[in-house]
Amino acid sequence: MKLIEFFGPSNSGKTLAMIEIVKRLKKQGYSVATVKSTPHRLDYEKDSKDSMKYVKAGSNLSVAMGNEETVFHFPRRMKLYEILDHVNYDFLLVEGQTGFPMPKILFLNKSEGIERLDDLTIAVVGEIEKLESKDVQIIHPGDYATLYNTVLLSALPPLPGDDCGHCGSDCTTMMIGIIKGEKTYKNCVKLSNKSVSVELDGKKVPILPFISSIVRDVNAGILKNLKGMDKQGHVKIEFDLRN
C-alpha cells in the first residue's frame, strides 16, 4: 500500500483533486481508500457528504478523523498507523494533515498556504511560478493528469509511524530520507526485522507491516514457553482454517 497526503487551506481544491485521482486510480484497476482529517469535532452532516463523494468516486473505504473520534466508527481519534491495521488497498489518499510521515502535496488557495511547505512536501498545486526548493514540483490547478502521474510515482508504502527510535532517529526523518533517496525501508529496524509471510492453500496473502509485527510478536511470546524454543531461528507454523 502506498500513501500520499493532500493538504493546504480551505477552498484550495483538495477535495475535487482527491475525487479526480480516486476515479483515475479506479479506472486503472487499483483499489483505493481515502481518509479525511479535520482538527475539529466531526460534523456528521458535512463530513459524511465529503466521505460519500469519495465513495461515489470509487473509494473502497472512506474514513473521517476528527479531534475526538474516527468514523468507521471508533469513539476516539486514532493514530493513522492504527487505521492502517484495518486497511489493505493499493493506495490510501489522505485529505488534511495527520502528522503521519508520508509524501505530501500542498494545495494553495491563490497564494495562501505556502508557509505550510515542509520537507515531506513533494509537490505544490497552485498558481505560482517558482519555489526556492528545486526538489518540489509545481502543478497548475486543474492539471489532474500531471497530479495523477505524480501520485503514481511519488506515493510510498508506510513506515511504522510510532517513532520507536531503534534506527537512531524518528519516522519523519526516515521518510524524508527515503523521499530524497538517501535511505531505504531496509534502514527501518522494525520493518527489516519483523518479516512474516502468510499463505492460503499455497497462495501468498498480502500482509501489512503492522499486522506482520503483531503476528510475529504474539506468536513469539507464546512459543518461547515451549521446550526447544530457547534459540533464534526460522519458525514455520501451519494450521487448517477449514476445521
Q: 3-state SS of the chain?
A: CEEEEEECCCCCCHHHHHHHHHHHHHHCCCCEEEEEECCCCCCHHHHHHHHHHHHHHCCCEEEEECCCCEECCECCCCCHHHHHCCCCCCEEEEECCCCCCCCEEEECECCECHHHCCCCEEEEECCCCCCCCCCCEEECCCCHHHHHHHHHHHCECCCCCCCCCCCCCCHHHHHHHHHCCCCCHHHCHHHHHCCCCEEECCEEECCCHHHHHHHHHHHHHHHCCCCCCCCCCCCCCCCCCCC
Sequence letter at residue 171: C
Give the model's pLDDT for residue 137: 95
Per CATH, domain 2-154 is 3.40.50.300 = yes
Candidates 109, 107, 102; CA nearest to 117 is: 107
φ/ψ of residue 193, rounded to 5: -100, -15
Q: What is the pTM of this model?
A: 0.67
pLDDT digits (tens, 9 = 90+) for 15-32: 999 999 999 999 999 999
Distance CA 43, CA 10 (A): 16
pLDDT digits (tens, 9 = 90+) for 81-119: 888 877 788 999 999 999 999 999 999 998 799 999 999
Sequence letter at residue 81: Y
For the chain, which residues make up each domain, given as ranges? 2-154, 194-223
pLDDT digits (tens, 9 = 90+) for 120-179: 999 999 998 888 777 899 999 999 999 999 999 999 999 988 888 888 899 999 999 999
